[in-house]
């Protein structure tokens, strides 16, 4: 297998003769070939090959071959040869997204995020966004969206080599029909990540199978009964109640118990942080409704996080897989909770900082070692979640806490991590490397794998 970048141009001809510069043919080890199968995504075309003396690495495709392969644009792209008779252009990558129903703004507020993935990948690959309804499984084509200035332009392309799942609607993403759609890709050998949103309780459960990784998970119980909550409060004096399918801190309660002063519960209501005190658990459970059985909730041991200015701090570790299928910590943001908030979300008054600043303030000279240790733990957690979850993963946003005894804890694994930490000026470069890893990993999944010759 040899792989390199080249430039594609189209010629207004209807024959099936593809011209290739000798430099490119040499890089692809195709010197003595004249018949060739060309591929792009799920399409193939038989062509005859002719060499040109043009300097540099070029392919000139007649328009007939361009339309048969549905090549979306001219310009720079990766080309890969397997053996001496097959050449593939691509990789062709599809980003699966939800639609808004609007023709002019098909992806609404998510447009700019989708476009940032597309522009990072488009230097070496063909990238498009698509909705589930854009696929024609019979014809094996997709009516794809390509960025076009401030809007989008639609072009029909073959089924892609790999899919990046950015469905943003949890209910849709976890539906049976989406499972079937993702399965159809897998059955055709089209790699996809990530499969779907996680439920917190599923992730805690699967980590129980790995003793080492599970050391980083606070004690957690799904669907707790009142007795279970009471028992956890007796044991830890401090617990979190979290909706298992929740996000953004919505529906989270922070409970503490002081044998002399009673039960305290903090949460967010109507855009404000509120605090209640109860002498006994009956009032507390009435507030938590359902007489204390918190359906679809997890009760979790509370962790005494490190603090700055009396505000707890936690961290978002953004992990990606690289072009060799290995996990890398692409970026880390520290998050300081807003005053009185039970979570560190920016929406609830939280503030993003660099981990170096925070750890240096809290731990001084020990900071560097602690950060390194937390990175190793995050990678171990990602590997374990992937192994025990039995689905390929390519990206994770881990919510990590460090306690006052330097222990590393994981509160949540997000399979569709947002990119808000990368808005911090000091984290922009890490944001770009995370985009680069996504593109490299999609190329890997699309089987564009051998070392790139420059």
Ligand X SMILES: Nc1ncnc2c1ncn2[C@@H]1O[C@H](COP(=O)(O)OP(=O)(O)O)[C@@H](O)[C@H]1O
Write out the residues near ligand X by the rule CB under 6 A.
Answer: 218, 240, 242, 246-249, 252, 300-303, 305, 314, 343-344, 399, 401, 411-412
Cβ proximity to Mg ion: between 132 and 418 the closer is: 418
CA angle 245-248-251, nearest 5°? 60
Return phi, psi of residue 2, to 5°: -125, 150
- 246, interface contact from ligand X, Mg ion, none, CB < 5-8 Å by kind: ligand X
241: helix, strand or coil: strand
Q: Are 244 and 201 in contact (CB under 8 A)?
A: yes
- 166, interface contact from Mg ion, ligand X, none, CB < 5-8 Å by kind: none
Peptide bond into 171 cis (omega under 30): no
412 binds Mg ion (CB under 5 A): yes
Count CB atoms within 10 A of the CB of residue 115.
Answer: 19
- 22, interface contact from ligand X, Mg ion, none, CB < 5-8 Å by kind: none
CB of 231 to ligand X, least distance (A): 16
CB of 32 to ligand X, least distance (A): 59
Q: How many residues bind Mg ion (CB under 5 A)?
A: 2
Cβ proximity to ligand X: between 191 and 218 the closer is: 218
Determine the interface stretch with Mg ion among 130-138, 230-238, 284-292, 406-414 (rule: CB under 5 A).
406-414
399 binds Mg ion (CB under 5 A): yes
Residue 114, CA distances (Å) to 94, 149, 451 in order: 11, 14, 27
Cβ proximity to Mg ion: between 129 and 374 the closer is: 374
84: helix, strand or coil: coil
CB of 384 to ligand X, least distance (A): 18
CB of 347 to Mg ion, least distance (A): 11
Element (H, E) at 361: helix 355-363
The bridge status of strand 17-21 relative to strand 43-52 is: parallel
Question: Cα(179)–Cα(158) distance, rounded to whole angstroms?
Answer: 21
210 binds Mg ion (CB under 5 A): no
CB of 139 to ligand X, least distance (A): 40
CB of 348 to ligand X, least distance (A): 9
Cβ proximity to ligand X: between 94 and 401 the closer is: 401
- Owner of token pair 């949540």: 412
Residue 1 neighbours by CB under 8 Å, 6+ apart: 80, 81, 82, 449, 450
Cβ proximity to ligand X: between 224 and 302 the closer is: 302
CB of 239 to ligand X, least distance (A): 7
CB of 138 to Mg ion, least distance (A): 41
- 344, interface contact from Mg ion, ligand X, none, CB < 5-8 Å by kind: ligand X
Cβ proximity to ligand X: between 47 and 241 the closer is: 241
Cβ proximity to Mg ion: between 20 and 203 the closer is: 203
CB of 344 to ligand X, least distance (A): 4
Determine the interface stretch with Mg ion among 25-33, 58-66, 354-362, 399-407 (rule: CB under 5 A).
399-407
Cβ proximity to ligand X: between 10 and 264 the closer is: 264
Cβ proximity to Mg ion: between 80 and 434 the closer is: 434
Chain residues 29-68 in contact with Mg ion, contact rule CB under 5 A = none
Q: Are 195 and 395 in contact (CB under 8 A)?
A: no
- β-partners of residue 381 are none
- 314, interface contact from ligand X, Mg ion, none, CB < 5-8 Å by kind: ligand X
Of the candidates 364, 449, 392, 370, the one whose C-alpha atom is nearest the C-alpha of residue 88 is 449
Fill in the DSSP letter of residue 337: P
Following DSSP, what letter does each residue of 117-142 receive, concatenated? HHHHHTTTSEEEEE-GGGEETTTTEE
Residue 74, CA distances (Å) to 47, 369, 428 in order: 18, 48, 30
Question: Cα(142)–Cα(130) distance, rounded to whole angstroms?
Answer: 8
CB of 244 to ligand X, least distance (A): 9
Token pair for 104 = 């002019």
Question: Cα(89)–Cα(446) distance, rounded to whole angstroms?
Answer: 11
Determine the interface stretch with Mg ion among 27-35, 211-219, 275-283, 395-403 (rule: CB under 5 A).
395-403
- 242, interface contact from Mg ion, ligand X, none, CB < 5-8 Å by kind: ligand X
Cβ proximity to Mg ion: between 399 and 440 the closer is: 399
Return phi, psi of residue 424, to 5°: -60, 130
Order the strands of the 272-278 sheet from edge to edge.
220-222, 297-301, 238-243, 253-258, 262-269, 272-278
CB of 295 to Mg ion, least distance (A): 20
Q: Are 315 and 331 in contact (CB under 8 A)?
A: no
- 240, interface contact from Mg ion, ligand X, none, CB < 5-8 Å by kind: ligand X
Cβ proximity to ligand X: between 18 and 342 the closer is: 342
Residues that bind Mg ion (CB under 5 A): 399, 412
């Amino acid at each position: 297998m040899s792989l390199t970048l080249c430039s594609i141009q189209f010629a207004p001809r209807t024959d099936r003769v593809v011209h290739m510069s000798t430099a490119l043919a040499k890089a692809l080890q195709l010197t003595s070939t004249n018949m060739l199968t060309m591929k792009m995504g799920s399409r193939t075309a038989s062509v005859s090959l002719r060499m040109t003396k043009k300097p540099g690495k070029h392919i000139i495709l007649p328009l007939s071959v361009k339309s048969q392969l549905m090549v979306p644009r001219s310009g720079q792209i990766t080309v890969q040869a397997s053996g001496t008779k097959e050449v593939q252009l691509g990789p062709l990558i599809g980003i699966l997204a939800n639609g808004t129903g609007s023709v002019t703004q098909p992806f609404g507020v998510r447009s700019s995020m989708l476009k940032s993935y597309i522009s990072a990948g488009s230097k070496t690959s063909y990238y498009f966004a698509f909705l589930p309804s854009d696929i024609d499984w019979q014809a094996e084509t997709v009516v794809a969206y390509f960025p076009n200035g401030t809007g989008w332009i639609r072009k029909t392309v073959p089924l892609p080599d790999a899919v990046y799942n950015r469905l943003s609607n949890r209910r849709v993403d976890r539906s049976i029909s989406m499972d079937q759609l993702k399965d159809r890709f897998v059955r055709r050998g089209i790699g996809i990540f990530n499969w779907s949103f996680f439920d917190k309780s599923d992730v805690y459960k699967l980590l129980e199978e790995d003793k080492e990784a599970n050391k980083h998970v606070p004690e957690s119980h799904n669907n707790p009964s009142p007795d279970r909550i009471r028992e956890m409060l007796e044991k830890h004096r401090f617990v979190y109640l979290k909706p298992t399918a929740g996000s953004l801190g919505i529906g989270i309660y922070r409970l503490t118990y002081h044998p002399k002063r009673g039960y305290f519960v903090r949460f967010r209501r109507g855009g404000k942080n509120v605090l209640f005190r109860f002498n006994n658990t009956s009032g507390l459970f009435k507030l938590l409704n359902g007489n204390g059985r918190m359906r679809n909730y997890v009760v979790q041991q509370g962790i005494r996080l490190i603090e700055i200015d009396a505000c707890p701090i936690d961290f978002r570790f953004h992990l990606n897989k690289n072009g060799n299928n290995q996990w890398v910590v692409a970026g880390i943001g520290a998050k300081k909770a807003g005053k009185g908030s039970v979570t560190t979300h920016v929406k609830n008054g939280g503030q993003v900082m660099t981990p170096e600043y925070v750890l240096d303030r809290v731990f001084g000279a020990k900071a560097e070692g602690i950060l390194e240790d937390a990175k190793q733990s995050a990678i171990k957690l990602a590997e374990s979640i992937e192994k025990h979850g039995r689905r390929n993963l390519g990206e994770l946003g881990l919510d990590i806490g460090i306690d006052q005894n330097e222990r590393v804890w994981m509160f949540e694994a997000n399979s569709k991590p947002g990119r808000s930490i990368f808005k911090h000026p000091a984290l922009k470069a890490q944001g770009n490397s995370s985009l680069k890893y996504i593109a490299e990993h999609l190329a890997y999944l699309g089987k564009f794998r051998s070392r790139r010759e420059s």
